[in-house]
Amino acid sequence: VVEAKTTLEPHWLASSICFVADSSTDLLCFEVRDSADAQSIIGHGCTPFVREAAQSDSEAASFAAHLSAGLDLTFEVVPQLPAPPPRPPTRPPPSPVPLVPPLRRDSTAGRVAQLNERFRVGAPASDLESAGVLVRQFDTLDDPAHPWLPCPADQWCAGFGDRWPTSIINTGARHLYYADGKGGVVIAPTVSIFCAYAEDGNSMDGSKVCNPLGGNGVTCIPGCYPKGQECPDIGHAWSCSFPPTQLKEALQAQQDRSDMRARNNEIVIDTSTLVAQMPEVILGFFYISDEAYSRQIRRKFLQFYDLGEEEGPLLVRLDLSSPDAPFSLP
């Protein structure tokens, strides 16, 4: 059964005219199509055709087309196959790792001034760049041979290789984890973070180690509390972590309590995004008291990435007692 449509019409097939021997009547074959959809074949059939009306296949097809309105055509309906099921949705591609701009050609003094400006205007914000300057002190979670990289798989600290504890510093946040003058690195604000703490969050706790590394973002988040135990879930800012989308709230929580202002905040970064952006992601090597060690590590960095003295990261002194310009050249 075919739904009655005024758009159905026969399409005569010149190559399908069947001439019957010793007969003046032949069979003219046709397809039935919907003129609203020229590619749709509804059915097919044949009808008697008087040979005297035309002498060739092409003439027969042309002549039959003129007669089609007056012919009573019957045809066999072509079975319509069901439409194929929709393709399952594909998983969206992972978000690309943000890339830092190429190494800047600003003067050394100009780059130091930029760090001091970010320190001076930094305040609780949803993005790392507006919050201040992101720094990390050297410790045992570094690659022993390349301290600007996270712990490698063949070291005791391999289980912590997916994260680095760092801190945001600005005029309202002037404390680092180690008070003994350890130096470290200044990190570009283009890395991704796993979570943020208003104070030291003990990100090395055994319950915050994920297998496999990197976690699943729900029941295990490297260095952080799992979903359901984050600060917004429990309603306070201690013994919990803030998700990446609430960096501003974490930094504001530090400012809201005098005891937290007297300590460092902890920003747990995803080291895979750090490694992917080497070497540009390291903006500088800083020292507080031991200039020689930071200078030595910077020299190894320049050699490792084949960088010149002027294009490589800064070597700067960090003095957090300075009102608004803690970074200076040696």
Quick check: 292 pLDDT over 70?
yes
Strand partners, 173: 170
In sequence order, the 6+-apart residues with CB closer than 8 A to the CB of 313 are 185, 186, 279, 282, 283, 284, 285, 298, 301
Band of residue 52 on the pLDDT scale cut at 50, 70, 90: very low
Q: What is the pLDDT of residue 173?
A: 97
* Cβ(151)–Cβ(89) below 8 Å: no
Look at 182 and 57; give whichever has higher pLDDT.
Answer: 182
Q: How far is CA 259 from the centre of its chain?
A: 37
Distance of CA 213 to CAs 75, 138, 157, Å? 67, 21, 12
Separation between Cα atoms, residue 36 and residue 31, nearest integer Å: 15
The overall average pLDDT reported for the chain is: 83
110-163 residue pLDDT tens: 999 999 999 999 999 999 999 999 999 999 999 999 999 999 999 999 999 999
**Joined tokens for residue 320:** 């957090």
Quick check: 225 pLDDT over 80?
yes
Band of residue 5 on the pLDDT scale cut at 50, 70, 90: very low
Q: What DSSP designation does 275 have?
A: H
Work out the burial of residue 264: count CB atoms within 10 Å of its CB; fewer than 13 is exposed, 13-18 middle, 19 or more buried: buried
Say which residue the tokens 């059915």 belong to.
43
Mean pLDDT of all residues in 45-62: 53
Work out the burial of residue 324: count CB atoms within 10 Å of its CB; fewer than 13 is exposed, 13-18 middle, 19 or more buried: exposed
Band of residue 95 on the pLDDT scale cut at 50, 70, 90: very low
Separation between Cα atoms, residue 288 and residue 19, nearest integer Å: 103
Band of residue 6 on the pLDDT scale cut at 50, 70, 90: low
Q: What is the pLDDT of residue 108?
A: 94
Quick check: 313 pLDDT over 70?
yes
159-207 residue pLDDT tens: 999 999 999 999 999 999 998 889 999 999 999 999 999 999 999 999 9
Look at 94 and 115; give whichever has higher pLDDT.
Answer: 115
**Joined tokens for residue 296:** 């030595």
Mean pLDDT of all residues in 71-75: 53
Cα dihedral: 144, 146, 149, 153 (round 10): -50
Q: How far is CA 260 from the centre of its chain?
A: 33
Q: What is the pLDDT of residue 93?
A: 52
**Joined tokens for residue 207:** 């319950």
Q: What is the pLDDT of residue 179?
A: 85
Give the closest residue to 152 by CA, choosing from 275, 329, 318, 26.
275
Biggest alpha carbon–alpha carbon distance for the chain: 115
pLDDT over 70, % of the chain = 68
Q: What is this structure's pTM?
A: 0.69
Quick check: 86 pLDDT over 70?
no
Band of residue 224 on the pLDDT scale cut at 50, 70, 90: very high
Q: What is the pLDDT of residue 33?
A: 64
Look at 89 and 284; give whichever has higher pLDDT.
Answer: 284
Minimum mean pLDDT range among 36-50, 58-72, 79-93, 296-310: 58-72
Quick check: 53 pLDDT over 50?
no
Q: What is the pLDDT of residue 105?
A: 52
**Joined tokens for residue 213:** 């590394």
Quick check: 314 pLDDT over 60?
yes
